[in-house]
């Protein structure tokens, strides 16, 4: 698809960041170009409208969950376009009020995510969005948080996947990734 090639042209790889041996995929150039950002959001929204909503148990997407922090850049815009709610998943201690927690392993350590309690109601259909999936730990933890509250993840949505880490294999719902990163 031409839009995927166009979007991919804005991604930059930074070697040995944030530590030696890691190749970091920088999505921020997408946000400096309004046309590229529009192409990205339109592509992701089109995928959800064309492939996810028709197979969703209730015929819609109730909630978009965005992962800390780059999922916050994508999630609210997609939620607005779909008429869905947006719920953030943050690192421990960053959300007020009662929260539910899930611990996960990532490429370089352990972390904990939180979601405000009752942010998702039982039976709601949920899409989890983030920029890149690597090991799948953070996305899997977000899925656990949704399940703890009775929601149903109907799709995980990413711009790119570090394919050789096979993170999408850890997830318990369908995964859509626009761009495979093979190194």
- The catalytic residue positions are 70, 107
**Closest residue by Cα to residue 146 from 118, 166, 176:** 118
Q: Crossing angle, helix 34-47 and helix 71-82, to 10 degrees?
A: 60
Closest to 10 measured CA to CA, from 101, 131, 170, 96: 131
Strand partners, 158: 130, 177
3-state helix, strand, coil in the chain (%, to 5): 35, 35, 30
Other CB atoms within 10 A of residue 45 CB? 17
Looking at the DSSP bridge assignments, the partners of residue 125 are 152
Rounded to whole angstroms, how far apart are CA atoms 24 and 13? 5
Residue whose pair of structure tokens reads 């799948």 in the numeric block: 136
């Amino acid at each position: 698809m031409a839009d995927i090639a166009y979007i991919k042209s804005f991604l930059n790889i930074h070697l040995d960041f944030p530590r030696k041996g890691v190749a970091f995929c920088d999505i921020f150039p997408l946000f400096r170009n309004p046309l590229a950002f529009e192409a990205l959001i339109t592509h992701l929204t089109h995928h959800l409208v064309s492939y996810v909503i028709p197979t969703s148990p209730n015929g819609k997407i109730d909630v978009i969950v965005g992962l800390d922090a780059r999922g916050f850049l994508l999630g609210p815009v997609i939620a607005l376009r779909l008429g869905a709610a947006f719920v953030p998943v943050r690192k421990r201690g960053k959300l007020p009020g009662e929260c539910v927690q899930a611990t996960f392993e990532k490429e370089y350590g352990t972390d904990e995510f939180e979601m405000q309690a009752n942010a998702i109601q039982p039976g709601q259909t949920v899409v989890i969005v983030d920029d890149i999936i690597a090991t799948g730990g953070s996305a899997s933890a977000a899925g656990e948080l949704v399940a703890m509250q009775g929601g149903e993840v109907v799709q995980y949505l990413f711009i790119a996947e570090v394919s050789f880490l096979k993170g999408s294999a850890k997830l318990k719902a369908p995964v859509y990734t626009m761009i495979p990163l093979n190194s």
